[in-house]
Amino acid sequence: MINEAALLESKTLRDGVLERTDVLDRVKALSLLPDGMHVTTAMVAAYFEVAERVINRMAQRHRDELTVNGLRILRGEDLARFKGDTLSLFPESYPQPRSSLALWSRRAVLNVAMLLRDSNVARQVRTYLLDMEYLARTRPVETPARSRDVPLDDRIDQRITHILGKTVVPMFNALIETSGEHRQELTSLREDVERIEQRLCDHHTRIADLEHTGGPRRYTGIMASIDAMNWREFEHHIAVLLRRDGCTDVIVHGGPGDRGVDVTARTADGRSVVAQCKSFAPYRPVWSGELQKFLGASRVQHAADVALFVATTSFAPDARAIAEAYGVTLVDRSHLEKWSAGVPLPVLQ
């Protein structure tokens, strides 16, 4: 079993568990900015119950690692845009930065938990991570006789992973605890073994996803953040995505008097864009009547080149038929998840 000291000292081990951002909410609630995806340095410090200067010093020492995992420093136009799109929604709740602003993703916050030595909250997060890793490694593996429908290579992967987790890694842990002269070499060898074990686990997961779900899900947690937004925050979230995909003149119109559209913009090649944003519960689909209303607003009132209907749910068959007949681009829950995760929307390119 991986111990806490190894997690603090080994970047390889940290990289292997960075997808488990749900652990953060098991320890305590992590407050997010209105965009539903980021926190400030002050919010990171509050979560881990340490002084903000502690987070700043740690960020300086591990800047490259944290940047890879989602730490961004906004300055200039990027900072001004973020203030207008996000912080301006609740000016009384968040201090307005002057020259720069550090934004931390949930993945970067989890990275902090594995770097902070003197935080009780960080220790609790590491404990949850280690427990989850232990459970994953010690989960019983079916024997070939009981799983004939599973491909042979897949069964071999599971058996090797089981052996590595149950025997080889514990053996290295015992040797490291009692060794002196060769401690560093043994630690390095153990990390190599654990890296192989992690790759086998990843391989098994990818194969299972491809066989049973049509592809891996890489965007865990994004829709939970979007579902927590109110209608105004959701509209501004869509505005942020439009700007990220190269749109200019992005304006949020949502509310009374919006003439049937929530956001207008212009693509990089000059086409006009109008978007309707519906933040519905996942079980409540968008019906054809709502598509008909938007069709009139986007085509007749605004003469839009690109009409987007973005929803946090699915679209009824009649609504999809109307959209296909009149050239409306539908962004349903699954497409919204991918768009929010960084996959560009083709119609805007």
Note the pLDDT tens digit of each residue in 86-111: 666 555 555 666 688 899 999 999 99
Q: What percent of the chain has pLDDT over 90?
A: 24
Please, which pLDDT band fits residue 60 given cuts at 50, 70 and 90? very high
Q: What pLDDT is attached to residue 275?
A: 92
Q: What pLDDT is attached to residue 149?
A: 47
Q: Is the pLDDT of residue 3 over 50?
A: yes
Query: What is the maximal distance between C-alpha atoms in the chain?
Result: 79
User: How confident is the prediction for the chain on average, in pLDDT?
Assistant: 77
Please, which pLDDT band fits residue 329 given cuts at 50, 70 and 90? very high
Q: Which helix (H) or strand (E) holds 225?
A: helix 222-227
What is the CA angle 193-198-199, rounded to 5?
100
Q: Is the pLDDT of residue 41 over 70?
A: yes
Average pLDDT on 333-347 reads 88
Query: pLDDT: is 221 or 309 the higher one?
Result: 309
pLDDT tens digits, residue range 236-265? 999 999 999 999 999 988 665 556 688 999
Helix (H, G, I), strand (E, B) or coil at 311: strand
Helix (H, G, I), strand (E, B) or coil at 28: coil
Q: Alpha-carbon distance 262 to 235, whole Å?
A: 7
Please, which pLDDT band fits residue 49 given cuts at 50, 70 and 90? very high
Please, which pLDDT band fits residue 267 given cuts at 50, 70 and 90? very high
Average pLDDT on 131-156 reads 48
* Closest C-alpha among 9, 320, 3, 10 to residue 192: 10
pLDDT tens digits, residue range 157-213? 455 655 555 556 556 565 655 556 666 666 667 666 666 656 665 555 555 554 444
Q: Alpha-carbon distance 89 to 327, whole Å?
A: 33
Strand partners, 266: 248, 272
Q: What pLDDT is attached to residue 201?
A: 59
Q: Is the pLDDT of residue 129 over 70?
A: yes
Q: What percent of the chain has pLDDT over 70?
A: 66
Q: Is the pLDDT of residue 232 over 80?
A: yes
Q: What pLDDT is attached to residue 124?
A: 86
Q: What DSSP character marks residue 48? A: H
Token readout for 130 is: 């280690």
Q: Alpha-carbon distance 6 to 62, whole Å?
A: 17
Token readout for 207 is: 């194969």
Q: What pLDDT is attached to residue 317?
A: 87
Average pLDDT on 57-82 reads 89
Q: What pLDDT is attached to residue 290?
A: 86
Q: What pLDDT is attached to residue 332?
A: 92
Strand partners, 250: none
